[in-house]
Amino acid sequence: MALKATIYKADIDIADMDRHYYASHALTLACHPSETDERLMLRILAFALNADPELSFTRGLSVDDEPDLWKKDLTGAIELWVELGLPDERRLRKALGRARHVLVYAYGGRTMDIWWEKSMRDLRRLSNLTIRAVDEDATIALAGMIQRTMRISCTIQDGDVSISDGTSVVTLIPSTLLQPQ
C-alpha cells in the first residue's frame, strides 16, 4: 500500500523590506512520504523569499515536469520556476525552455559544494538562471521548527532572513552562486 502525503498548515507573516512586500499567507503543504522536514521548511523559506499573490506550490516531488513553486501570469505562462535541491543541467535547460526565469535554492552542505564544483561551468552558460545556496546549519535549524500547524514570521532586510516560530529564531543569508548578467 502506498503511503499518503502528510498535510502541514503554515500561517506566515512576511515583512520583506528589500522588496517592500508585507503580507500574511495561509499555506497548505502536502509533504511527500520521501520528503524530509528540512526540504519542507526550505519550501516555506523559498515561498517567503519570493512571496507574491500569484506564487503557488505545485505537486512537487509527485511530478517530474513541475518545479516546487511557480508563478504564472494571467495567460498561464510561467514567469518564475523555483527548484529546490541540486537539479541536473538537463532539468534546468528544460525549465528555462518553459519559464522566463528559473531560481534554484541549493542546499545539502558538502554534497551541494561538490554539485556546484561539478556543474558550475555548464550552468554558467544558461541565461535567466539564478542559483542561491542555503547554509546546512540554517536548513537543519529550520527543520527543528516543523509542526503540523505552524505560525511563522519572516523578516527580510538587506538580504538577511530571520524566521521565527515564536519560541526560536533562525537567521540566515542565502548566498548567490549564479545570477543572470
**Interval 77-110: pLDDT, tens:** 999 999 999 999 999 999 999 999 999 999 999 9
Q: What confidence score (pLDDT) does residue 50 get?
A: 97
Q: Does residue 3 carry a pLDDT above 80?
A: no
Q: Does residue 142 carry a pLDDT above 80?
A: yes
Q: What confidence score (pLDDT) does residue 163 get?
A: 98
Q: How far from each other are the two terminal CA atoms of the chain, in whole angstroms?
A: 49
Q: What percent of the chain has pLDDT over 70?
A: 96
- The separation between CA 139 and the C-alpha centre of its own chain, rounded to angstroms, equals 11
CA 155/CA 49 separation, integer angstroms: 9
Contact by Cβ (8 Å): 145, 169: no
CA 116/CA 160 separation, integer angstroms: 23
The CATH code of the domain at 6-178 is 3.10.640.10
Contact by Cβ (8 Å): 71, 78: yes
Q: Minimal CA–CA distance to 120: which of 160, 156, 92?
A: 92
Domain ranges in the chain are: 6-178
Query: Residue 34 has what DSSP assignment?
Result: T
By mean pLDDT, which of 25-34, 108-117, 134-143, 165-174 is the weakest? 25-34
Q: For the chain, what is the mean pLDDT?
A: 93
Q: What confidence score (pLDDT) does residue 56 get?
A: 94
Q: Provide the 10 A C-beta neighbour count for residue 122.
A: 13
Contact by Cβ (8 Å): 81, 87: no
**For the chain, how big is the Rg over CA atoms in Å?**
16
Q: What confidence score (pLDDT) does residue 65 get?
A: 76
**Interval 28-79: pLDDT, tens:** 998 888 889 999 999 999 999 999 999 999 876 556 778 999 999 999 999 9
Q: Does residue 1 carry a pLDDT above 60?
A: no
Q: What confidence score (pLDDT) does residue 59 get?
A: 74
Q: What's the pTM?
A: 0.94
